[in-house]
Chain A
Amino acid sequence: MVTLRNLLAAALVLGIYSLVMAALWVVLDAVDVAFTEAAVGAGVTTVFMLLAIAATGRHEKIAHRRPWLPILASLAVGGLLIYGTLDLPGFGDPEAPAQQHVAPHYLEQGEAETGVPNIVTAVLASYRGFDTLGEVTVIFTAGIGVLLMLGIVRRRRAGAGDDDDDTGERE
């Protein structure tokens, strides 16, 4: 999708990629994330992309800039990151620090304390409910931002009718 010149095709490949990632989340035991990725990542994102491409044109102009600097920068960052992973605990290690801190408490006490057997839901809605409120605030702010940006521009240029303002409040 990086080399595709047709943006419509690139957006659809992004949607397929997102769906494949959702399958990967199921394999990695993150079923709630898989739901969200399939609905929001593959669904809503693709709709937004298609709306935006409809408004901006579907063909990318052929760029005559040299790709070597971006490639070099990406490789340098990737090399540093791979160097950083060498100290990480191995895949699926039950003794890893990430598995030792607060997660066991949630898994052992979560159902008794909240009454929800799905621990992801329990943490999201009960233990970290305020964070979820913050998340909703972010979505609200983004919705207002989108509406303002598209709305103000439309008022200034009355006549240039275009209606893709449903990019707003989504969950």
Chain B
Amino acid sequence: MEALSHVNYWAAIVLAMIGLYAVIAPSNLIKKLIGLGMFQSAIFLVYITVGKVEGGTAPIIDSGHAVYSNPLPHVLILTAIVVAVSTLAVGLALAVAIKRDYGTVEEDEIDEQDRR
């Protein structure tokens, strides 16, 4: 059991690595934003994992339960999800504006047009 106690963190890190790759590698701006969304989910997973208590239940006070998971990471991540959607909306709006001005959302082609 000791060896498996960090598996959740590692799963989150693998997700974060895929997300990071998807932010750096593609030249399509929408694809980069999808990668950013994956990266954010990975961070959420780390936080929620920290909050989990063995044998605990959801932090809603009830006479039938004594052990609860930590509510603080849940609050933080609730806020973070909403903020993530706000940033995503701004990013997508930027992509749409770039598409209107340059006629493309591919990074290579935008660079080429800028060099001219």
Contacts and interface: CB of A to CB of B under 8 A. Distances in A.
Contacts of A41: 41, 81, 84-85
Nearest to B14: A78
B16 A78 contact: yes
Contacts of B57: 29
A124 B93 contact: no
Interface residues of B, number: 82
Interface size class of A (residues with CB under 8 A): 35 or more
B23 to A, nearest CB: 8
Given A2-B18, A160-B100, A167-B92, A73 B24 contact: yes
Interface in B62-106: 62, 67-75, 77-79, 81-90, 92-97, 99-101, 105-106
A48 B92 contact: yes
Contacts of B56: 29, 92, 94
A158 to B, nearest CB: 12
Contacts of B35: 2
A107 B68 contact: yes
B12 to A, nearest CB: 9
A56 B86 contact: no
A51 interface: yes
Interface in A29-82: 29-33, 36-37, 40-41, 44-45, 48-49, 51-53, 55-57, 60-61, 63, 65, 67, 69-71, 73-75, 77-78, 81-82
A98 B45 CA distance: 15
Contacts of B86: 138-139, 141-143
B111 to A, nearest CB: 11
A52, A107, A128 pick with most chain B CB within 10 angstroms? A52
A13 B83 CA distance: 21
Top 5 closest A-B pairs, CB basis?
Answer: A90-B5, A92-B54, A142-B86, A29-B69, A52-B92
